Every structure is written in C-alpha cells, then in structure tokens.
Structure 1
Amino acid sequence: MNILEKIAAHKRVEVAESKEEVPLEALELLPHFKRKCISLKERLQQFSTGIIAEFKRRSPSHPEINLEAEVEKIALGYAKAGAAGISVLTDEEFFGGSLDDLMQAREAVNLPLLRKDFIIDEYQIYEAKAAGADVILLIAAILNRNQIARFAKTAKKLGLEVLLEVHNEEELERSLMPNLDMIGVNNRNLKTFEIDLENSKNLAEKIPAEYVKISESGISETVAIKELQKSGFQGFLIGGNFMATNDPGKSAAEFIKELKG
C-alpha cells in the first residue's frame, strides 16, 4: 500500500464520521454555501505569473514544514504578494490541516481558494463549498472514471471549479471529460517521493487546450517556471518552498517579483 492508498483508506473512515457529526442538510445552511465562487481558471489565464501559493503545515515526506503556521496571516501575505490563488490543505491526519483553515483563509482574502484534500465522497464537495472553497481537487490515482465524472458534475452543480490531478499518461487519458476546468500534473512520484519536472513537460502536449495546465510539486526556482511556461503551463502550485521559511508571504512576494523581473 503506497502513501496515497493509505491516505484514501483513512479518509473513508474520516468521512463516515463527518457524515454522522454534520449532516449534508446542515452544510447547506452555512453562510458560504450560497456564496458565488471566484474563478481560479480565469485568474490563471489573466495572471502572467500564475502562482498558486499553498498553505500546509506538514506532509508525509516532510513532517515538520511549519507546524505553528497561522493561516490567516499567511493567506494575507500570499494575497499581498500577488498570488493568483491559494491552496489550503484540509487533511488533518497526514498534513496537519482542517476545514477551519479553509474557513479562516476565506475570511481573510478575496482570492480563489482550492480545497486541497483527498476527495473520495460527494459529501466532501459539499463540505468544500460550505467552508468557502472555489475549487476542489480530484486525484485520478485514487478515483475511477465514473467517480471523477460524478464528483465533477456535483462540483459544477454547486458552482465550484474542478482541478484534476494526474501523475502519468494513463491517468490523464482515462480521466479527460467534461466538467473539468484545470489539469494538474504532479511532479512527485508517489512511490519514491522523487521529484521530476520533466513529468509536466512530457504530459503537456497531451493535455487538450481547453484545460488550463497546472504544474504541481517540486517547483523552487523561477527558471523552472519559465521553462514550464514554454510548454503551455499557466498555473504553478508551490507550497513547501514558501512554507518552510519564516515568512511564507514575504518569500512568495520575493519569488513573484523575481519571476516578473
């Protein structure tokens, strides 16, 4: 069982408990549920840098990135830095996040927010909407084609955009369908945790033009982004590179300034 399978197995237990504690009808009554979402896709098409700055405290490969991080302060820093959007890790067991982090980020900034989690049930899509997300992540490696289609349709019904994450050509080919807005290529090998930016470049030409292309994981230098832009990427999800510093907002600002420079 690789780490992704382990996370998905735990998530099924977690979601079952959440359904017991907070029924779907209760989620629909929360204030953000009726809020009109902000388009991340449009912002990535408009922003020359396309940085999606991520908030996360830890990960399976890096257990202590920034354990005391304050989401409101960092979200404001990312917004001031000029990020096109913000990704918020809401998984608690493996990443130290929560839906409260997403809600605090929503109160702090008026940017598109991605709920970064491991969605294996439609209930989580309703959770995302109720907590203030604009975009959900669907991970092809843990979902079959029917699940992706069903979850994407539910997201669209709620006004959310959909980012589909793939790791290889097989996942990409079996997962392309309507109701997806963005395709993210994860440069991390989930079996070895090795990073290879060539993964994004190799898959770029196989992603149809109707989808905004996003490169995820392992981006730490502006030169890498400039190379990826040549392959048609408009979004770049960066987390650890900012979060591992004393001031993630400042680090993002310096990175974006250099990228524009």
Structure 2
Amino acid sequence: MSVLDSIIEGVREDLATRRLPLSQIHEAMENAAKPLDAYAFLSQSEMNVIAEVKRSSPSKGALAPITDPAALAEQYQEAGASAVSVLTERRRFAGSLEDLDAVRARVTIPVLRKDFMVDEYQFLEARAHAADIVLLIVAALSRSQLKDFYDLSCELGMASLIEVHTAQELESAMEISPRMIGINSRNLKTLDVDTRAFADLIPQIPDEIIRVAESGISSRSDVQGAQNCGASVILVGEALVKSGDPISAMQELLGRR
C-alpha cells in the first residue's frame, strides 16, 4: 500500500464516524457564507500566495503546534496572501474542520479546504463549513470521479485546485477543462520531492489556466524558479509555520524585504 492509499483509507474511516444526515448537511450549506470568487483572488498579481495552516505532515512529522489557526491566518492575510489553505485531515496532518471554521470566521480572503476528497459527501461538508476552494488530487481519483467531483464543486460555487504530479495526471486534468492546476513536486505515493516537476509540467499548461506550484518552496530563489517556469501562484505551508515570523517569511519569499 502506498502512502497515498494509506492516507485515503484513514480518511474514509474518519468520514464514516462523522457523516451527518443529508437533510442536516444541506441545512448547514444553506446557512454557510456564500463562496468567494477564488479564481479572481488568485489572479490579482504576477505572484500570488496560498498560505497554509499546517501542523504536521507525513514526510516531516510535527511542524508547529498552531494553537490559534485563525490568528495565523490573519497574519497570512496581513502579509498579502491571496488565500489560506487549511488542512482538515486529522491522522497525518493534525487538521480539523474546526480549524476551517475558525479561519473562515476571521479572514476575508478565500479559504481552501485541504484534504483528500474521495467521497461526494466531503464536498457538501466543505461547503457547509464555508470553504471557497477544494482540492482534487488526480492520483487519488478515477477519471470519472475527477469529472464528477469537479462538476459538483462548480455546482456548489467552489473553485477547484486540480493537483497533478506527472504528465499522465496532467493529461487527465486537462480533460475536464479546469481553471486552476497545481503541480505538486511531492510524489504522494512515496513522499519524495523533485522540483523539476515544475519545469517539466507547468509550461505544458495553457496560459489562461491558473498555475500553482506546490511543495518544495522554502526560499526566494525557489519562488523565482517556479515563477520562471510559469507559475503565478505558490502554495506554501512548512516554510511559513516553522519560521516563527510568518509575515516576514512571506514577504521574504515574495522579495518584499
């Protein structure tokens, strides 16, 4: 079993323990804040940041305690982030839907629910918790699931970050006519990082699609490298939460200090 398979197995087990009746989740969706236009927020400048609230990861273990995710998200917004990513997977990333609620209540920029989305219910759940963006990992989904989940996200008013790692996954992603694609330099099946994925794959994505560079970004030169490949958005978590000063760390990544 790959790392990705193991994570998904845990996600399904946890989902089974918290699944609500559909009538209840639909009521929560109706009461949730309307989704923001994440695509517009992530197209504001030459380089935009999705800053991540991330306590832990399968590859690095514990990163930072983050006792107040909403306060951290506020710092991200102050530093110029265009969106905030909130991990909601519990076992490997120590995240929760409560973190998502706290962040959404505190910031005015879009919020990405960062999780392994493998069940239709999770998309209803994401909207019920006022997420503006969801993550669709091509390696975790069949072609039909990818299309169905993308269509569902659109129907619910949420943007989708379609994540790929290989040329074959990119080909699958392009079949659904996405508006935003993320190139993850980390192989989720082995957890190895190879930032050459940015140079290999980002130039293959049409200019009209928002191109996001994910993982392996910890310095100003990393950001410049991703931007030179054609990325206009970076998704960064570890470098920010471990810095001790996320505002200065983000400004440094963007070359503003």
Pair in the same fold by TM > 0.5 = yes
Please say if residues 161 and 180 of structure 1, whose CA atoms lie closer than 8 Å, have aligned partners that are also in contact. no
The one-letter amino acid paired with 1:233 is A
Partner of 2:221: 223
Using the alignment, how far apart are the partners of 2:57 and 2:238 within structure 1?
9
Whole-Å separation in 2 of the counterparts to 1:260 and 1:254: 6
- The answer to whether structure 1 residue 10 and structure 2 residue 19 are counterparts is no
| Alpha-carbon distance change, 125 to 212 in structure 1, aligned in 2, over 3 angstroms | same
**Aligned residues of 1:84 and 1:112 also touching (Cα < 8 A):** yes
> Which amino acid is 2:180 matched to?
M
Among 175, 197, 200, the alignment partner of 1:199 is 197
Partner of 1:40: 38
Asked if the contact 1:80/1:253 (under 8 Å) is kept, the reply is no
Alpha-carbon distance in 2 for matches of 1:68, 1:230: 32
Given residue 123 of structure 1, which amino acid in structure 2 is its aligned partner?
A: Y
Contact 1:57 1:69 in 2 (8 A): no
Percent identity over paired residues: 36
Which of 150, 159, 163 aligns to 1:152? It is 150
- Name the count of aligned residue pairs: 257
The answer as to whether partners of 2:83 and 2:110 remain within 8 angstroms in 1 is: yes
* Residues 253 and 230 (structure 1), Cα distance of their counterparts in 2 relative to 1, 3 Å cut: closer
Alignment of 1:156-167 (within 5 A): 156-167=154-165
Structure 1 Cα separation of the partners of residues 221 and 181 of structure 2: 22
1:83-232 alignment to 2 at 5 Å? 83-178=81-176, 180-232=178-230
Please give the alpha-carbon distance, in whole angstroms, between the structure 1 residues aligned to 2:66 and 2:24: 31
Alignment-mate amino acid for residue 241 of structure 1: A
Q: SS at 1:132's partner residue?
A: coil
Residue 42 of structure 1: how far off its partner (Å): 1.6
Unaligned runs of 5+ in 2: none
Q: Which runs of 4+ in 1 moved over 4 A?
A: 31-34
The whole-number CA distance in structure 2 between the counterparts of 1:107 and 1:253 is: 24
Q: Which amino acid aligns with 2:199?
A: K
Q: C-alpha offsets along residues 167-197 of structure 1, whole Å, 9 cap, x if unaligned?
A: 1001111232336321001101234433221
Select the residue among 231, 238, 241 that pairs with 1:240. 238
Shift of the alpha carbon at 1:33?
4.9
Unmatched segments (≥5 aa) in structure 1: none
Whole-Å separation in 1 of the counterparts to 2:31 and 2:192: 38
Structure 1 residue matching 2:204: 3-state secondary structure? coil
1:38-85 per-position Cα deviation (integer Å, ceiling 9, x unaligned): 222222221233111100110111211012442011000000000111
1-side partners of 2:212 and 2:41: how far apart?
Answer: 13
Whole-Å Cα distance in 1 between the matches of residues 102 and 172 of structure 2?
36
State yes or no: 1:50 paired with 2:44.
no
Counterpart CA distance in 2 for 1:249 and 1:23 is 41
Matched letter for residue 242 of structure 2: A
CA contact (8 A) 1:47 1:84 kept: no
The worse-fitting range, judged by mean Cα deviation, of 247-256 and 60-69 is 247-256
* 3-state DSSP of counterpart to 2:27: coil
Q: Which amino acid aligns with 1:6?
A: S
Give the RMSD, CA atoms, in angstroms. Answer: 1.8
TM-score, normalisation: structure 2:
0.93
Distance 2:164 2:8 in 1: 16
Q: 1:213 to 1:72 in 2, by over 3 A?
A: same
Query: Match of 2:253?
Result: 255
* Equivalent in the alignment of 1:26: 24
Maintained 8 Å contact 1:138/1:148: yes
Task: Provide the rounded CA distance (Å) in 1 between the counterparts of 2:133 and 2:180.
Answer: 10
